[in-house]
Chains A and B, each alone.
Chain A
């Protein structure tokens, strides 16, 4: 597609349930990022994938959070046993490794509400 696509756009779940959020990066972009943005706050870095290298997971807040990416394609962010503090917009971004650093292309985000 022309841009980064994320699904679902909105997800309401009950505390304790698992959720999966999906990101389709721009074709040809080798780098993929996940961020979390709580209401009225800035973006928190979660995880970074670059090609086939081991992902940088240093931003994941707990072991309930995990993410996978197959090659240079789709990525899935999984949150297990969701808590109310997980409520946020989860943003995915991709970039071309040979483009100007800092030129990330973001999706519209997945808004997660944990009741």
Chain B
């Protein structure tokens, strides 16, 4: 499984757009990129998954450049409730072992 590198923490203010970048330099051809969100005292929750270019859902957008060596999770107009830890995972579409790493702790301020 490709190793991922994320910033340990980020600060933002309500209403701002937040972009969290994940590096995965040794991503393989069959690997997908998946992001999770974890609130305190809860299990992680699936946010979004992509392979290349851009994916958007009702929660976030995922931008993946052509070389796929990084990806950026974009959260539009964050609110206090978006304060959480965000994890980037990389693995094959049918991969079974999910390594979460330490994630990025996002702190949204009023």
Q: What is the interface of chain A, defined by CB distance below 8 A to chain B? A: 4, 31, 33, 35, 41-43, 45, 48, 50, 56, 58-59, 91, 93, 100-109
What are the nearest 7 A-B pairs in CB distance? Answer: A106-B43, A102-B34, A43-B100, A42-B102, A101-B93, A103-B46, A42-B100
Q: Which residues of A contact B42 (CB under 8 A)?
A: 106, 108-109
Number of contacting residues on B, CB 8 A? 25
A101 touches B91 (CB 8 A): yes
Q: Which residues of B contact A31 (CB under 8 A)?
A: 96
A45 touches B95 (CB 8 A): no
Q: Which residues of B contact A33 (CB under 8 A)?
A: 98
- In the assembly, what is the distance between CA of A56 and CA of B99, in Å? 14
- Residue of A41, A56, A105 near B97 (CB, 8 A) is A56
A106 touches B44 (CB 8 A): yes
- In the assembly, what is the distance between CA of A103 and CA of B49, in Å? 9
Q: Which residues of A contact B92 (CB under 8 A)?
A: 101
Query: B45 within 8 Å of A by Cβ?
Result: yes
Q: Which residues of B contact A45 (CB under 8 A)?
A: 97-100
User: Which residue of chain B lies nearest to A100 when distances are taken between CB atoms in the complex?
Assistant: B49
Query: B101 within 8 Å of A by Cβ?
Result: yes
B43 touches A107 (CB 8 A): yes
Q: Which residues of B contact A102 (CB under 8 A)?
A: 32, 34, 46, 49, 89, 91, 95, 98
A42 touches B103 (CB 8 A): yes
30 sampled A-B residue pairs with Cβ under 8 A: A4-B43, A41-B102, A42-B101, A42-B103, A45-B100, A48-B96, A48-B97, A59-B97, A91-B43, A91-B44, A100-B93, A101-B49, A101-B93, A101-B94, A102-B32, A102-B34, A102-B46, A102-B91, A103-B34, A103-B46, A104-B36, A104-B44, A104-B46, A106-B42, A106-B44, A106-B45, A108-B42, A108-B43, A109-B41, A109-B42
